[in-house]
Structure 1
Amino acid sequence: MCARSSLFLLIALLVMMLNGCTSLPKNPDRVQSTAISDTDDTELGKAVSQLSEGKGSMSGFSPLGDGLDAFAARALLAGLAEKSIDVQYYIWHDDDVGDLLSVALIGAAERGVRVRVLIDDIGLGASDEGLITVDTHPNIEIRLFNPRINRAWRAVESVFSFARINRRMHNKSFTVDNQATIVGGRNVGNEYYDADPNVNFKDFDVLALGPVAQEVTASFDKYWNSDLAIPVAEIIEPSSKSIVDVVKTVVDQQDKLRNSPYVQAVKNSRFVEHINNRSLPLFWGEAHVLYDEPEKAAGNVEKKESHLLAKMSEFIDQPKKELIIVSPYFIPGKDGVKDIASLVSNGISVKILTNSLSATDVGAVHAGYAKYRIPLLQAKAELYEAKADPDFEDARKKKKKSGYGGSSRSSLHSKVYVFDRSKVFVGSMNLDPRSTEINTELGILFENEEFAKLIGDFWDKEVKKYAYQLKLHVEDVPDDWEQQRTSLIWLEHLNNEIVTYRVDPKTGFWRRFGVGFLGILPIENQL
């Protein structure tokens, strides 16, 4: 009895301690700041002004489908920065790419550039000591979005404060001098930029210039000044290291990484080649930055009009001919299946690409999606699942051109939606309950038929090369001629043949069994 009483007392004390240390600071020492708007006289501002001459309110954008190009664009923008860099990410890994971008940001701060970094605490890979030390730089401020306050008991706090911790900032943007921004699906980590030999997330960003950059900065300001954005100095103890030590380390790291195979590959990327040749492809059109208000992460879910999907409906009518959905995590739910069925019944082609079981990095999400595959096909939607197999031919060509090879496995991570091949949405939003109801998201809706047609044409020519096509297989039930059984088959379109699979391709029994078990759990609204 004594031991049991002691255990209850210990648990009670732990709960009391956590309750006292897990609420966000009510009046943090947070200085409000907004965009530096007078940047037309910067080199980047002058270049954007020249490029946008005669374009009116339109913005220019260039697709970043290749990981090396995506990293090169960020590195070059950071190098051009003269007045400000605003960075907002869900994940920032402490790896080669994370180090290289940190080096670029500190280098900009050393030149006098104001650097604001807003990172979701759940996806933070860097150590608290590293964060607080870099934050002491007079030109750098780092804030954590909706952080765990008890840094020594973060995992425990995530359980006891689940209702708050469960809501995350999934937004991703990289904006320089209020003139140019990069928005899309990429976080900061090796796997997003062709720097991980084991896995490569096939992702998609856009580099956008002009008025759209100011809209992205305006959204950043809302998050930066929200009650959920806490300065790291408020929750992390001061470090014994000095910023002088950090700058010295940065210089040493720069020298070390400058001649690495990855950096050499970036220097040989198509983006750098286009910049050097002044031939970067730019599409011009009206652009709308769409995002969830930061209050969504505070649990204010009743204000649906402030959610990204509601805002998108202001600019997009129901498609008239075609809807292309590229979402790595795709859980339409019963209502979503009904909406897709309604579109198809009205003569609208609905084409969907998501991850296969062998390619997904989140088995639970695939479990939530799998139950809707047959209903989607019965509704006459076209359904494809991305392969995990590497494109050896593309990897061989990349290695021959840059000296840097590809990854051994790929996973779809792009979030792209194309409406009637006239409008394109690129951003961080998946079509699943977590994106639509729980997390906050950010993206840009572009109105440009040439760009939309480019993506549509790529789909027509390449989707069967990179993805399995799903079909229904209907067969009679033995001993009951009035009954039929409906199942799935996967078609792999190879050069000279079509290979048919009766179960999820390139997966083992236990993988399928585990995901099947997850599928019966009542967790869909959290996926």
Structure 2
Amino acid sequence: MVPKVEDKPVTKSLSPPKSGVLAETARRLENTRDEEQSSLLLLDEAKEALEWRLALVDSAKSSIDIQLYLWHDGASGKLLLDRVLRAADRGVRVRILVDDFLFNGNEPFVSSICRYHPNIDIRIFNPTSFRGNPLGSSMEFLLNFAHLNRRMHNKTWTADQSFSIVGGRNVGDHYYGLDEHYNFLDLDVLVSGPPVREVAKGFDLFWNSAQAYPGALLSKRAKREILEERRARLLAYLDQEKDGMLRSFPTRPKDWSREFARLPHTMAKGKAVFIQDHPDREQDNRQLVTSLGTAVGKQSRELILVSPYFIPGKGMLESMEQAVKEGKDVHVLAPSLAANNQPAAHGHYKKKRKPTLRTGAKLYELRSQPDKSVRMMADVSPVRSKIVAMHTKAIVGDRTRCFIGSMNLDPRAIKINTESGMLIDSPELTADLFSMLQKIRRSESVWEVTLDERNKLRWSENGVNFQDEPPAPWMKKVTSRIVGWLPLESQL
């Protein structure tokens, strides 16, 4: 059982340094736009999403703050962990805040990092007390359900308070094109400008909250030797995979000056606002949902909703129906069962197909075997995954405004978890996002779902109609059907 926290240091985000490629590039970008504007770059391809995270870490001079739902131990996880440790070695202060739900099992290593590396600290959001004890953890979860059921789903990545990445990607191979079983279509935005300060403030709020538990206290078995042994294993793995799984990425720190020098010519301009929920359940007013509801209501012509786990409630369905009555085109993009990594969520999404279509909205489902141009967004050489799954979370309005963040359009995101994201008013960036969604919505990559004259669901492919749901692995079908019978919608 983890000890109670007696004295937890309060730390704040460091101001941008006066020199360094990140701070200098941020100042150059500032000179290219109006004062209230930001510089924005859409990260819709897995390869560039990992490259820009590496670029921020390798280029940081004073600070790195990372907030995630999970950090998987795979090729990308090892690569990023090695780079973060190297940044700390050269004096960069690193703070990592990770949710606890999928974090059990690494307690001695986490505690060893926190105790024996002077420049890196890790905190765990809302941890269970009984570590490594499945029975104790289960009993604790049941007895303290309301508290432990609330998870931190936020995802931000900030360096030198000069650049932030905000969006839907955690750390794991399927987010960065390196999973042989399935890779995600996903989405982030790289931003420089006023929102970075708000991301930094938001990180501090979570970092210093009562829910953030110091990693140093997770285990009594912390040893310097554990840290040294793990680092040696990381180096051996990276040397082994530099011409293998990781051949598309630099396995040692590099100079990214050339890439940053191109940003003034490639980043879009626009107004952007960072929004997030409050870490304390008692103080949380669901800021993200409120802000999105207001923003969605302002659209006059078109609304595109993209979510991997689309389970609209009564209020959302009524809003969609009202938008259609007002003459707006409403489109929904969700994954088919085969392209959904969470068949449990699909079990309740499928019950929402007909209600969604009855609002007048158009519904599209991503295929697990999309066309080559879409697959290239998800896979990174040498990997070709068995399927392409969907993890993209976005809202596009009137092709001029958009939301990119961590929030699914499901009950858990709307009512339970904490979420974060960026509201963006930029015709230039939104045009890039719309173009990407148009590529995905081509007939070779999606089925259009409609209702026929008998009120039966119909899937269309190149003008050919099917009455049965597109094929999927039998285990996904079984899981989806069983969970769909259970009264679990509020938890999905």
Q: What TM-score, normalized to structure 1?
A: 0.85
Matching of residue 203 in structure 1 with residue 186 in structure 2: yes
1:398 and 1:473, CA in 2 relative to 1: closer, same or farther beyond 3 A? closer
Q: Write out aligned runs for 1:294-313 (5 A).
A: 294-296=279-281, 300=282, 303-304=284-285, 306-313=286-293
> Which of 305, 324, 340 pairs up with 1:325?
305
Q: Write out aligned runs for 1:401-440 (5 A).
A: 404-440=382-418
Matching of residue 30 in structure 1 with residue 41 in structure 2: no
Q: Write out aligned runs for 1:74-223 (5 A).
A: 74-124=53-103, 127-136=106-115, 137-154=117-134, 155-156=137-138, 157-223=140-206
Give the C-alpha shift of residue 368 in structure 1: 1.5
Q: Deviations over 1:71-119 (max 9, x none)?
A: 1111111000110000111011111111111001100000000000100
Instruction: Give the aligned partner of residue 457 of structure 2.
Output: 488
Give the C-alpha shift of residue 414 in structure 1: 0.7
Q: What code does the residue aligned with 1:192 have?
A: Y
Q: What code does the residue aligned with 2:334 have?
A: T
Give the C-alpha shift of residue 326 in structure 1: 0.5
Give the C-alpha shift of residue 369 in structure 1: 1.5
Give the C-alpha shift of residue 411 in structure 1: 0.9
Separation in structure 1 between the aligned mates of residue 132 and residue 377 of structure 2, nearest angstrom: 47
Kept in 1: contact 2:344–2:479 (CA 8 A) = no
Separation in structure 1 between the aligned mates of residue 381 and residue 146 of structure 2, nearest angstrom: 48
Separation in structure 1 between the aligned mates of residue 217 and residue 108 of structure 2, nearest angstrom: 13
- SS at structure 1 position matched to 2:485: coil
Separation in structure 1 between the aligned mates of residue 260 and residue 206 of structure 2, nearest angstrom: 35
Q: Deviations over 1:404-442 (max 9, x none)?
A: 242111111010111111111100001111001000001
Separation in structure 2 between the aligned mates of residue 131 and residue 218 of structure 1, nearest angstrom: 25
Q: Deviations over 1:325-372 (max 9, x none)?
A: 011011112222111111101101110001111111212211222112
Kept in 1: contact 2:306–2:393 (CA 8 A) = yes
Kept in 2: contact 1:398–1:404 (CA 8 A) = no
Q: What TM-score, normalized to structure 2?
A: 0.91
1:330 and 1:398, CA in 2 relative to 1: closer, same or farther beyond 3 A? closer
- SS at structure 1 position matched to 2:17: coil
5+ residue gaps in structure 1? 1-20, 476-485
Instruction: Give the aligned partner of residue 500 of structure 1.
Output: 465
Give the C-alpha shift of residue 307 in structure 1: 2.6
Q: What code does the residue aligned with 2:426 have?
A: N
Separation in structure 1 between the aligned mates of residue 245 and residue 205 of structure 2, nearest angstrom: 35
1:248 and 1:359, CA in 2 relative to 1: closer, same or farther beyond 3 A? closer
Instruction: Give the aligned partner of residue 283 of structure 1.
Output: 268
> Which of 361, 365, 372 pairs up with 2:345?
365
Separation in structure 2 between the aligned mates of residue 382 and residue 130 of structure 1, nearest angstrom: 49
Separation in structure 1 between the aligned mates of residue 453 and residue 377 of structure 2, nearest angstrom: 42
Q: Deviations over 1:245-264 (max 9, x none)?
A: 4444444444334x233432
Separation in structure 2 between the aligned mates of residue 107 and residue 77 of structure 1, nearest angstrom: 13
Matching of residue 523 in structure 1 with residue 492 in structure 2: no
Matching of residue 72 in structure 1 with residue 54 in structure 2: no
Number of residue-to-residue matches in the alignment: 480
Instruction: Give the aligned partner of residue 225 of structure 1.
Output: 208
Give the C-alpha shift of residue 138 in structure 1: 0.5
Q: Deviations over 1:165-211 (max 9, x none)?
A: 21100001111000011111111011110001110011111111122
Separation in structure 2 between the aligned mates of residue 200 and residue 470 of structure 1, nearest angstrom: 24
Matching of residue 256 in structure 1 with residue 240 in structure 2: yes
Separation in structure 1 between the aligned mates of residue 76 and residue 438 of structure 2, nearest angstrom: 33
Matching of residue 347 in structure 1 with residue 327 in structure 2: yes
Kept in 1: contact 2:57–2:159 (CA 8 A) = yes
Separation in structure 2 between the aligned mates of residue 396 and residue 417 of structure 1, nearest angstrom: 23
> Which of 429, 432, 438 pairs up with 1:454?
432
- SS at structure 1 position matched to 2:460: strand
Q: What code does the residue aligned with 2:168 have?
A: G
1:187 and 1:462, CA in 2 relative to 1: closer, same or farther beyond 3 A? closer
Separation in structure 2 between the aligned mates of residue 460 and residue 403 of structure 1, nearest angstrom: 24
Q: What code does the residue aligned with 1:132 have?
A: S
Alpha-carbon RMSD across the aligned residues, in angstroms, is 2.6
Separation in structure 1 between the aligned mates of residue 196 and residue 188 of structure 2, nearest angstrom: 14
Kept in 1: contact 2:305–2:333 (CA 8 A) = yes
Separation in structure 2 between the aligned mates of residue 149 and residue 287 of structure 1, nearest angstrom: 39
- SS at structure 1 position matched to 2:280: helix
Segment drifting more, 456-465 vs 92-101: 456-465
Which structure has more RCO (C-alpha within 8 Å, separation ≥ 6)? 2
1:390 and 1:54, CA in 2 relative to 1: closer, same or farther beyond 3 A? closer
Q: What code does the residue aligned with 1:106 have?
A: L
- SS at structure 2 position matched to 1:371: helix
1:394 and 1:469, CA in 2 relative to 1: closer, same or farther beyond 3 A? closer
**Identity score, percent:** 33
Separation in structure 2 between the aligned mates of residue 453 and residue 426 of structure 1, nearest angstrom: 14
1:454 and 1:30, CA in 2 relative to 1: closer, same or farther beyond 3 A? same
Separation in structure 2 between the aligned mates of residue 323 and residue 351 of structure 1, nearest angstrom: 6
Instruction: Give the aligned partner of residue 23 of structure 2.
Output: 45
Kept in 1: contact 2:178–2:383 (CA 8 A) = no
Separation in structure 2 between the aligned mates of residue 49 and residue 78 of structure 1, nearest angstrom: 19
- SS at structure 2 position matched to 1:34: coil
Instruction: Give the aligned partner of residue 442 of structure 1.
Output: 420
